[in-house]
Amino acid sequence: MSIQVWIDGEYYPKDQAKVSVFDHGLLYGDGVFEGIRSYHGKVFRLKQHVDRLYASAKAIWLEVPISKAEMSQRIEETVKINKLTDSYIRVLVTRGKGDLGLDPRKCPRPTIVIIADTIQLYPPEFYQKGLDVITAATPISHRENLNPRIKSLNYLGHILAKIEGIQAGVHEVVMLDPAGFVAECSGDNIFVINPPDHKSGGKKILRTPHANAGILKGVTRDAVIELAASGGYDVREELFTRYDLYTADEMFLTGTGAEIISVVKVDGRTIADGKPGPVTLDLLARFRELTKTGG
């Protein structure tokens, strides 16, 4: 059976699912979205994703025309209708159909699209051997231009960074904020592992860029922070630079699509022994257990 896509209250087969060419989501990237996963028939951290979707919409002065409860219901229903045990869900809320001008008031009703399908960002073998990444010349947008906390449909900056990685022959890129601090990857959050210091009480240190560096606060990122804290690691959200990537004991990325994947080389510098490290593998195992319950 063809994948069924929910659009504004109706289901359409994948090859018939369409929006208007006058939709401002298409014309101007005016809208927000969420990427969500289901595991073992359970949608992972649905409330957190829906809350972030509505926060993003509020930040761009977009009123979602259904309640959070109904949105959650429609997401779960779309997964069930497509009979997907493990799936990737994409929820979009656009400004809706309007005219060819920029004025959002000319769009009387937002468009909602819910897609449930499958995804594979990286080849399976990369989870065993890790990724080789580079730093992109394209920076994250300035917070006062398009705040990275808003998960908007305008991803062109990240796509331009991704193109740099493609041209360099790597699968992912590190993006910096305008001040030069490490922010995030084209589609993932970043973590590094450091040895204990005088403040950590003997615990290994898990570091991830602070929100002030200009990042999207990922739902998987937050889950990993919780798992690390409960697993006995010293978790720190800090500003740091590429030097801290080059000299880390371990580095890994997190994201809804990527889940948790190790990085073993950055800008030609091998991270530690060039293999996925024990902390990364421990957190991946903990994350796998968490997904069995829906988070």
Q: What is the pLDDT of residue 264?
A: 98
Diameter of the chain measured on Cα atoms: 61
Tokens coding 122: 């990286």
Strand, coil or helix: what is 195?
coil
Using the predicted structure, report yes or no on whether residue 82 has a pLDDT greater than 90: yes
H helices, E strands: number in the chain: 8, 15
Give the right CATH number for 4-117 from 3.40.50.620, 3.30.470.10, 3.30.365.10, 3.30.70.1400.
Answer: 3.30.470.10
**191-229 confidence digits (pLDDT tens):** 999 999 999 999 999 999 998 778 999 999 999 999 999
pLDDT digits (tens, 9 = 90+) for 159-168: 999 999 999 9
Give the pLDDT band (50/70/90) at residue 4.
very high
> Measured between alpha carbons, how far is 90 from 100 in angstroms, rounded to an integer?
26
Is 151 assigned a catalytic role? yes
Integer Cα distance of 152 and 148 in angstroms:
8
Strand, coil or helix: 274: coil
Q: Which residue ranges make up each domain of the chain?
A: 4-117, 126-291
Say if CB 177 and CB 144 are below 8 A apart: no
State in Å, rounded, how far the first CA of the chain is from the last one.
29
Domain 126-291: CATH class, spelled out: alpha beta
Which of 97, 151, 162, 204 is labelled catalytic? 151
Whole-number Å distance between alpha carbons of 239 and 244: 10
User: If you search the block for the tokens 């997190």, which residue do you land on?
Assistant: 254
Whether residue 75 contacts residue 46, with contact meaning beta carbons closer than 8 Å, is answered with yes
Q: Identify the pLDDT of residue 17.
A: 97
Best CA proximity match to 206, nearest among 216, 218, 185, 221: 221
Inform me whether the pLDDT recorded for 150 exceeds 80: yes
Q: Could you count the other beta carbons within 10 Å of the beta carbon of residue 141? A: 21
Measuring CA to CA, how many Å separate 130 from each of 113, 125, 265? 34, 8, 8
